[in-house]
Structure 1
Amino acid sequence: MNVLIAQPDHRSAPGELLVALEAEAITYRILLEKENFVLPEEADAFEALIVLGGVMGADDDADHPYLTNIKQTIVRFSEQGKPVLGICLGAQLIASAFGRKIEVMDEPEFGITEITKTKAGKEDPVFNALPDTFAFMEYHNDRFNLPDGATLLASTAYCSNQAFRMNDNIYAVQFHPEVNEELIRSWVAEQGDWMESFQPDFIRNLETEIIPALIGTTKLFREMVRTWAGLAKKAVG
């Protein structure tokens, strides 16, 4: 299976995603930032789409025109029944592509956060790979509303819409399961002053709690990707 990875922001690298895809013998091409001007029909050569995160808003098409093409590509893949996975901004872009307004939160959701599966999440073939309560990195200022027909799969205490499924081929997660040590250290190097001012315990506990926690999140994410890849391969024949 050949996957198109849309990376809207150089700061939101694929991280552990590439390791997980390679473990499933899945090939991929990464389109970085302005390369995402690729027309939706040019994406037809790919059998699945993964959309990563970014610091811009999902509705900031005027400042980042390639977001329009990403959303059009999401819809095109949906219409063709091809698998789509959105992570953080990617999840918001899926919601925006299907007509849902993205809202700014009162304050960011940030840090390793406890997430709970809904009843539907417990029965979902991908989220089955996760325990009923699990933890991943959160790092977002905006939140999405569920598109029509979407099934809510997981929530946090602060942000109820954390993951959804549409039409059995589209998955979206607000959290960052792809984060590994390399990626989180790059975020700290670039945004450490903000992190220190907003949540000083995060920086203080980076070596003793945050980095060690990524060992567990990495295992969970690899299992998620393994399950998602199995379903995706079946969907594309």
Structure 2
Amino acid sequence: MKPFVLLATRAEEQPADEEYALFLRYTGLSADQLIRVRLEAGPMPALDLDELSGIFVGGGPFNASDPPEDKSAVQHRVEAEFARLLNEVVARDFPFLGACYGVGTVGTHLGATIDRAHSEPISVVPVTLTAAGRADPLLAAMPRTFSAFVGHKEAISALPSPAVLLASSPLCPVQMFRVGANVYATQFHPELDVDGITTRIHAYADHGYFGADELELTLAAVRRAAVSAPSLILQAFVERYTR
């Protein structure tokens, strides 16, 4: 088979390695079938889409809505690399699934309004499929409403017309959307389990996602409901696009 690629941006070793392990587990792919590229460590290599089955994007520390002067040189590089890649991905309608940072990358490419009006604290939220989501082949196995892990400082407030809204949550109107037939982005994390998000809570405790005295409350918030359905999206993506 032609491999998939995971484009990652986490600099912290433990959450970065766990993210890759979670994608391997829930996609069912082996390490030679899911190639990890750590963009925070170096430039994006040339990707020949004809030699790939699809592309995944993990979450990360970058916010598309940050002022340019607040962005590091690495973030500016990564954003430019994603802009070039998405020009080709969207034009070819190539299989792409961006988790969390996928909203920032694909949303920016579309000219979506990305701001902090619909941020969500690290927690478990109910995500509900739209009519288009219920009809989407990638989401055929998903219940109409399911629990998912979230935690993001920015989100899409206004989705341009080329995109199709697939799912929403009470505080965040755009939890998942599609461009064309094969380019997807989620605001929630389909790759996470409770152990994985616990690692991230500890790793990013001083990154402004919650207050200094809210660690235990945040840990409790991600345990208040069972989360299992979102990983079905990763499995479905691999089943649909492997070639």
Taking structure 2 as the reference length, what is the TM-score of the superposition? Answer: 0.80
Q: 1:205 to 1:110 in 2, by over 3 A?
A: closer
Q: Distance in 1 between matches of 2:239 and 2:200?
A: 31
The Cα shift of 1:170 comes to 0.6
Matched with 2:8 is 7
2:218 paired with 1:202: yes
Pairing partner for 1:188 from 201, 224, 238:
201
Q: 1:81 to 1:25 in 2, by over 3 A?
A: farther
Q: 1:153 to 1:21 in 2, by over 3 A?
A: same
The Cα shift of 1:205 comes to 5.9
Matched with 1:21 is 27
Q: Distance in 2 between matches of 1:107 and 1:228?
A: 26
Q: 1:200 to 1:66 in 2, by over 3 A?
A: same
Is the CA contact (8 Å cut-off) linking 1:36 and 1:70 kept in structure 2? Answer: no
Q: 1:120 to 1:104 in 2, by over 3 A?
A: same
Deviation digits for residues 114-136 of structure 1, max 9, x if unmatched?
11111111111112221011011
Q: 1:230 to 1:204 in 2, by over 3 A?
A: closer
Instruction: Tell me the amino acid that sits aligned with residue 16 of structure 1.
Output: L
Q: CA RMSD in A?
A: 2.7
2:79 paired with 1:100: no
Pairing partner for 1:230 from 236, 239, 242:
239
Query: 1:118-129 counterparts in 2 under 5 A?
Result: 118-129=130-141
Q: 1:106 to 1:118 in 2, by over 3 A?
A: closer
Is the CA contact (8 Å cut-off) linking 1:14 and 1:178 kept in structure 2? Answer: no
The Cα shift of 1:92 comes to 1.7
Q: Distance in 1 between matches of 2:32 and 2:179?
A: 23
Higher share of residues assigned helix: 1
Query: Which consecutive unaligned segments of at least 5 residues does structure 1 have?
Result: none
Matched with 1:75 is 87
**Percent identity between the aligned chains?**
21
Pairing partner for 2:59 from 19, 40, 53:
53
The Cα shift of 1:37 comes to 1.6
Taking structure 1 as the reference length, what is the TM-score of the superposition? Answer: 0.82
